[in-house]
Amino acid sequence: MPNRNWPDRSVTLALGKLTPEWAARPTLSGTAGTQPRKQVPLGAALLLALSLGWSAAQTAAPAPTVPPPAPVTTPATPTSAPVTAAPVKPRPPAANYVALGVLYYDQGNFSDAYLSFRAAAEADPMNSDALLGLGRSQSRLRLYVPSLDTLKKLVTQDPRNVSGYLALAQAYQAQYVGTSDRSTIPGTLDAALKVLDAAEVATRGGDSDKLDLNLSKIYNERGSLYRLQRQNIKAIDAFKQANTLNPDNGVILYNIGDMYYATGNIPEALNNLQLAVIADPSDPFNRAYYAKLLALSGNLSAARSEAAQAARFAPKNPYAVGQYGVVSYLAKDAKTARTQLVASIKLDPLRYPEFYYYMGRLELDQGNLKEARNNLTKAVALASTTPEYLYYLGLAYERSGVSAAPDRLRALDSYTRATTLDPGYQLALDGLKRLK
């Protein structure tokens, strides 16, 4: 899984209450735990919006009274009765739309969040919270260029808004990750790093009581950018700097563990993920990832317990549910693996290519080649730079079965792309030898 950002956790990097930065996480205060935001039913959200709008209408100035027409003394020609214009219903203030947008965003309903924040920005173009929510919602809907434009406008008119800079850097990251042909967006990650430099300047010139907290956010984002640039040592150093400033934050500890896993240091990865679970026991991301690392290290019994607990904590969290499926697959429990992986994909069909990959592996093990190819193709489409996904897609095309004939050309293409990404990937090299 990629490194985690602030506040990208809905469903569910929980949005916090650091006024006026509504999107900062509660754990950033340095406390050990997170109080999860309660789910608000959409009906309640709509009722809130209506009540706020009605309140605004009740307190608005009364419409002016239209004076009666002057009497006509010479009715030479008939005249129509004067038309009295209906009073214009006052529009709710931008803050009301922002509150509704936060409710929707918290619940992962990014389409309605986008509409709410857009209405807020139209009602008050200078409202920083409206622009912040709008830019983040646009990014989650893959409207990358509009998102960048919105957030650039925010930091231009509010140059001390640290959350705005962080959101802009995250939007650049999202554009980079979500664009298949990265030659069309050159310099994206470098632009994001420059945004973080500006964020640090704004932070050091702002509130001293938030200095360490905001710097920890900035270093965390730098670590994520360095990882995307494959500068692993710089990434680990940046995350450790963030950890020094905010030692009990589960997101930072998660990211340190994730980087150690990416560099092959499983013991250090496990150690940091365990610390993340201790720092925030109710966090389903930390516990689910910790479970997967336990499984990969061979401790399947503990892994299954942790994964099941994470899924119980957050049954609507696609990452927690999916990792329960991954751990079940690694433990050779195909039935549970299938149930959990299918449920995770239904919860979020686009965010986690890993779960299509393991679903493809499961189908491949069971000889369902058509389904295996379908799932592995989706995994590759969502993460085209992962050599393992390409190798197993090639293997699915190389094999033959009742439901599908072998496709040598596609198998060769997949193996070739895998070895291009990782020239020393032995499984893919062996696949090329078999077919040449």
- What is the number of residues in the chain? 436
pLDDT of residue 80: 54
**Alpha carbons 43 and 314: distance in angstroms, whole number:** 22
pLDDT of residue 27: 32
**C-alpha dihedral (234, 237, 242, 243), degrees to nearest 10:** 150
**Alpha carbons 435 and 49: distance in angstroms, whole number:** 62
pLDDT of residue 51: 47
Phi, psi of 13 (to 5 degrees): -80, 95
Contacts of 93 (CB under 8 A, 6+ apart): 56, 123, 124
pLDDT of residue 243: 97
pLDDT of residue 44: 52
HEC-encoded secondary structure of the chain: CCCCCCCCECCCECCCCECCECCCCHHHHCCCCCCCCCCCCHHHHHHHHHHHHHHHHHHCCCCCCCCCCCCCCCCCCCCCCCCCCCCCCCCCCHHHHHHHHHHHHHCCCHHHHHHHHHHHHHHCCCCHHHHHHHHHHHHHCCCHHHHHHHHHHHHHHCCCCHHHHHHHHHHHHHHHHHCCCHHHCCCHHHHHHHHHHHHHHHHHCCCHHHHHHHHHHHHHHHHHHHHHCCCHHHHHHHHHHHHHHCCCCHHHHHHHHHHHHHCCCHHHHHHHHHHHHHHCCCCHHHHHHHHHHHHHCCCHHHHHHHHHHHHHHCCCCHHHHHHHHHHHHHCCCHHHHHHHHHHHHHHCCCCCHHHHHHHHHHHHHCCCHHHHHHHHHHHHHHCCCCHHHHHHHHHHHHCCCCCCCCCHHHHHHHHHHHHHHCCCCHHHHHHHHHHC
pLDDT of residue 53: 45
pLDDT of residue 1: 56
pLDDT of residue 401: 85
pLDDT of residue 181: 83
pLDDT of residue 162: 95
pLDDT of residue 223: 97
Q: Consecutive 10-residue runs of the chain (436 residues): their mean pLDDT?
A: 53 30 34 39 50 41 45 50 62 90 93 97 96 97 97 97 97 90 92 97 85 96 96 97 96 96 94 96 95 95 97 95 98 98 96 96 96 97 92 96 91 96 96 93
Q: Which residue in 322, 302, 314, 434 sits closest to 379, CA to CA? A: 322
